Amino acid sequence: MGTKILMAVLVVAFLGTGVASFAVAEMAVINRNTDAVYGGSQQLRTIAELRNAFNRVRINSLNHFAATDLETEQAAEKALAADLKALAAAEKEYKAYELGPIRVAALADFDRAWAEYVTILNEKLLPLSRAGRDIEVAAVRKAEVEPLVAAAREAMDTLSDQTVVKAGEQKDEAAAAYASARTLVITLIIFGLVLGVAAAVGIARLITGPLGRCVKVLTSIRGGDLTARTGLVGKDEVAVLAQALDTSTEAMAGMVRQVADNAHHVAAASEELTAVSTEMSSAAEETSAQAGAVSDAAELVSHNVQTVAAGADEMGTSIREIANSATEAAMVSAQAAQTAERTNEIVQRLGQSSAEISSVVQTITSIAAQTNLLALNATIEAARAGEMGKGFAVVASEVKDLAQETARATDDISRRIGAIQQETDEAMVAIGEITAVTARINDHTSTIAAAVEEQTATTGEMSRSVNEAASSAGDIAGTISGVAQAADSTATGATQTQATAQELARMAAELHQTVSAYRV
């Protein structure tokens, strides 16, 4: 199937490539014709420049003939030289184009007429004009120049006409090439579309037919029919898919048949359940016989147990008292620990305060040293200044500032000492609380001791009852052993029977539902 699709795509791609290649070739032709049309327009421009230069030569020669002074003549001659140069350049440019035989002949006629005209202009007309011999100039112009001018103009007209004709032909060729290319491209596009649609329809039929058969089989499977098959063979993707579907359907049918076989195994499991039930019945009878033997000993054990229970109640009461006292003692101990922690923190703060006092004392010492130094400086300045005393005033101001700072440090020391005293009082209070807690601990300890004495008497009574119960325990032990064994057998059999019955019920329901839903 992939090969078929690839072939269709390649056909369409080939057609597209052909259309594109032809379009590129035709565009190259159109481009050449466009270049030719542009060249024709350039030729017309060159002819126009040639004609303009020719006319300027005629005009400037007339200006020279009509000049009345030397300056005007020289200006006219200068203009003539420039015009002759421009005409020669235009003619050279025109000769570089591709010219037909008619234009080559016309250009040769122009060259002959123009060369003769320039010769007459330089050798006859300009010398006569410089000499002021206007009558002779007019005679030469009429007899010799005018025929040459007419011949040159006729040649330029021929060049212009032939250039226009050539440009028209090139324009027609470009239009014809465009029309031909457009027609062929449209034809190829239509042909490609038709071929592409046909290929798409054919491939769609090749795909939808086998897929429809696959869908039909899947619909049958959904309805419970596992006998349907596609029957497709081949190596393409759809055929491989259909073959895989047939294989899966056959495997599913085999699975359903296997499920049907499992139903027979369920019947066998039911027979095993019957045998297990018989064993459980025998075990139940044995348990009943052993239970009668146990009942007599159970009465004696019950009486002794009651006695033990009464003692246990008394013991429980004492134990609760002990527990309460222990709890209270724990709380008191916790309070004592908290109080001790607070005392420790207070002592730490006392240490910090002492350290800060030491720092302040150091500051006071430093200030005192600076004060002595400033006092010495003041003395020296006063000695130097004499009566002026300006330096002494500055030093005296510094001494005053240091004295104020010393006073503030002294106040800080007093405040910190007060804080230390307050924290000392708090430590004393905490110590008192610790003492009270210790007393409470002693009281609760006494209560615990009394409860222990009561527990001792109760324990003695319970010991006597336990001894009596022990004498009966030997009789009960043998009987209980048989009862336990029978009970274990019964419990094990019952558990196995219940689990097996549940599993068989579930399997039977699932098997019945699964098998009945399919036709194989």
Q: What is the pLDDT of residues 246-279, one digit of tens each?
A: 898 888 777 777 766 776 675 676 677 667 557 7
Cβ atoms of 489 and 282 closer than 8 Å: no
Cα separation, 264 vs 258, in Å, equals 10
Contact call for residues 354 and 416 (beta carbons, < 8 A): no
Q: How far is residue 196's CA from residue 188's CA, in Å, rounded to a whole number? A: 12
- Asked if the model's pLDDT at residue 285 lies above 70, the reply is no
Taking alpha carbons only, the member of 293, 319, 314, 316 closest to residue 451 is 319
pLDDT number for residue 190: 92
pLDDT on residue 236: 77
Q: How far is 476 from 462, CA to CA, in rounded Å?
A: 21
DSSP for residue 235: S
Q: Which residues neighbour 209 within 8 Å (Cβ) at sequence distance 6 or greater?
A: none
What band does 13 get if pLDDT is binned at 50, 70 and 90? confident
CA distance 407 to 362: 14
Domains and CATH numbers, the chain: 2-213 (1.20.120.30), 303-494 (1.10.287.1490)
25-39, 318-332, 348-362 — most confident range: 348-362
For the ranges 3-17, 82-96, 243-257, the one whose mean pLDDT is highest: 82-96
How confident is residue 421, by pLDDT bands cut at 50, 70 and 90? low
pLDDT of residue 159: 87
Cα 351 to Cα 456: distance, rounded to the nearest angstrom: 53
pLDDT at 100: 83
Whether pTM > 0.85 for this model: the answer is no
DSSP output for 103-122: HHHHHHHHHHHHHHHHHHII
* Alpha carbon distance 287, 291 (integer Å): 6
DSSP state of 96: T
Q: Tens digits of per-residue pLDDT, 287-345?
A: 556 656 655 655 665 566 466 556 556 755 765 775 576 577 557 667 766 776 786 78
DSSP letter at 69?
S
Res. 245: pLDDT tops 60: yes
pLDDT of the residue at 478:
61
Count other Cβ atoms within 10 Å, centred on residue 383: 10
> How far is Cα 387 from Cα 75, in angstroms, rounded to an integer?
107
Structure-model confidence comparison of residues 213 and 395, the more confident one? 213
Where does the pLDDT of residue 41 fall: very low under 50, low under 70, confident under 90, or very high at 90 and above? confident
The percent of residues in the chain predicted with pLDDT above 70, rounded, is 63
Sign of the alpha-carbon dihedral angle for 61, 67, 72, 73 = positive
| Helix or strand run (H / E) with residue 225 | none
* pLDDT for the residue numbered 293: 64
Residue type for 439, please?
Answer: A
- What pLDDT was estimated at residue 148? 93
CA distance 154 to 400: 126
- Residue 47 CA to residue 53 CA, distance in Å, equals 10
Using 50, 70 and 90 to split pLDDT, how confident is the model at 392?
low
Question: Does the pLDDT at position 85 exceed 90?
Answer: yes
Q: What is the mean pLDDT of the chain?
A: 76
**pLDDT for 56:** 92
Burial of 353 (0-12, 13-18, 19+ CB in 10 A): middle
Q: 90-139, pLDDT tens digit by residue?
A: 889 988 888 888 998 988 999 899 989 999 999 999 999 898 898 998 99
Confidence of residue 475 (pLDDT cuts 50, 70, 90): low
Which pLDDT does position 198 carry in this prediction? 86
| pLDDT score, position 412 | 81
Element (H, E) at 61: helix 2-65
Report the pLDDT value the prediction gives residue 116, as an integer from 0 to 100. Answer: 93
